[in-house]
Amino acid sequence: MQLDVFTLFPQWFDWFRSQRHVANALALGHDLSCVNYRDTTPLSGGQVDDTPFGGGAGMVLRVDVVEAALRARYGVDPAELPSQRRVIALTPGGRMLDDALVDELAAERALTLLCGRYEGFDERIVEHFTSDAISIGRYVLAGGELAAMVVADTVLRKLPGALGHEDSAQEESFTAALDGAPEYPHYTRPADHRGWSVPEVLLSGHHERVRQWRLEQSRLRGEQQSLDGPAGDGA
């Protein structure tokens, strides 16, 4: 997987790259590169954003700036890119990220993630240069960088070998193995702490009963989440 992140804050990703599952994925031959919009801006003084037409607060990332950055990186007209590769704008108005979308992205050979700042993107960037717009939840971040890290984190940990333990991403929260429900509770030693004891079934050594109990717990948690109300997709 080739992950390219376009951002004004490439140094934020230094920390991210050092996280173990990310480092594992990179050691396996995957790549995470950052491109700074500022390095190729056609504007003087390193300018990358501007005030919104029609007025209003904040600054908007300029379409000419993003075009120059994409053109420099890929050597083609960025308007042709969406038909060649997955180019994703991180924006609160985008498609909500969930496990199914992560699986879809993890199957790609390459992903381009565009981070907006301030009030976000000039809409022409999203319209002409991207194949997708993705949001990570119904709240507003100061910029797309944290969302890009969430996307990169969730995608990279799905790649074979990234987690060290091959089953880890198979039967976990929101996967088909659990019918899309959250994961069941886990316990480890001590079996009793201050009288808080581990459910008996987990100590029984009875694999089929353990399996049934876990499925039931997962299902109950899914029900509880539905009662808690919509977490973005209205489910």
Q: Are 131 and 108 in contact (CB under 8 A)?
A: no
Of 80 and 233, CB closest to ligand 6GU? 233
Q: Which of 56, 140, 228, 234 binds ligand 6GU (CB under 6 A)?
A: 140
Q: Which of 90, 111, 126, 156 binds ligand 6GU (CB under 6 A)?
A: 90
The SS3 assignment for 216 reads: helix
Q: Are 187 and 199 in contact (CB under 8 A)?
A: yes
Q: Which of 71, 74, 82, 92 binds ligand 6GU (CB under 6 A)?
A: 92
In the structure encoding, which two tokens stand for residue 36, read together? 């700074």
Quickly tell me which residue has 């929101």 as its tokens.
174
Shortest separation between residue 113's beta carbon and ligand 6GU, angstroms: 9
Considering the rule CB under 6 A, would residue 130 count as an interface residue with ligand 6GU? no
Considering the rule CB under 6 A, would residue 57 count as an interface residue with ligand 6GU? no
Of 10 and 143, CB closest to ligand 6GU? 143
Shortest separation between residue 60's beta carbon and ligand 6GU, angstroms: 12
In the structure encoding, which two tokens stand for residue 217, read together? 């717990």
| Other Cβ atoms within 10 Å of 5 Cβ, number | 26
Quickly tell me which residue has 């003087």 as its tokens.
44
Q: Which of 26, 79, 101, 141 binds ligand 6GU (CB under 6 A)?
A: 141
Strand ranges, E, within 31-106: 31-36, 49-50, 60-61, 86-96
Show the site string, 146-185: x = touches ligand 6GU by CB under 6 A, - = not: -x--------------------------------------
In the structure encoding, which two tokens stand for residue 143, read together? 């910029």
Considering the rule CB under 6 A, would residue 143 count as an interface residue with ligand 6GU? yes
63: nearest Cα among 112, 160, 128? 128
Of 79 and 141, CB closest to ligand 6GU? 141
